[in-house]
Amino acid sequence: MLHSEIMHFEHALTDPLVISRPQRHPGPEHPRWKIPPSEWPTVLRRVEQGEPLRKIAAEYTVSYETIRRVVRAARKLQADLGKGWEAAFKNEYTK
């Protein structure tokens, strides 16, 4: 195994067209969220009202980093869907 990796590395140094190897353990195609997407508008509203991420995280029993990721994803969705994003989003994820 190590020998093949060394050979691959040496080949990559001499051939600029070598494509890197695929990930050994790629993530899931559709990752599962600890906070359901139907709750994202509520989380985003609470954050925008100034509520601390850690307080929201404690209520959902997740890390503040999870809340930060949800807020980032919700804001991206909001930008993509524009006005009325909340209704469109809830309709999509509460089926």
pLDDT one-digit tens code per residue, 43-54:
999 999 999 999
Count other Cβ atoms within 10 Å, centred on residue 78.
16
Q: Look at residue 12 in the predicted model and tell me its pLDDT.
A: 62
Element housing 54 (H / E): helix 53-60
User: Using CA atoms, how far apart are residues 2 and 4, in angstroms rounded to an integer?
Assistant: 5
Q: Look at residue 84 in the predicted model and tell me its pLDDT.
A: 67
Rg for the chain (alpha carbons), in Å?
21
pLDDT exceeds 60 at position 95: no
Q: Count Cα neighbours of 31 within 13 Å in the Cβ-side half-sphere.
A: 9
pLDDT exceeds 60 at position 4: yes
User: Using CA atoms, how far apart are residues 71 and 61, in angstroms rounded to an integer?
Assistant: 16
User: Using CA atoms, how far apart are residues 74 and 59, in angstroms rounded to an integer?
Assistant: 19
Count other Cβ atoms within 10 Å, centred on residue 91.
10
Model-level pTM?
0.57
Q: Look at residue 37 in the predicted model and tell me its pLDDT.
A: 85
Q: Over the stretch 22-76, which tens digit does the pLDDT of each residue have?
A: 666 766 666 666 888 889 899 999 999 999 999 999 999 999 999 999 999 888 8
The domain spans of the chain are 34-95
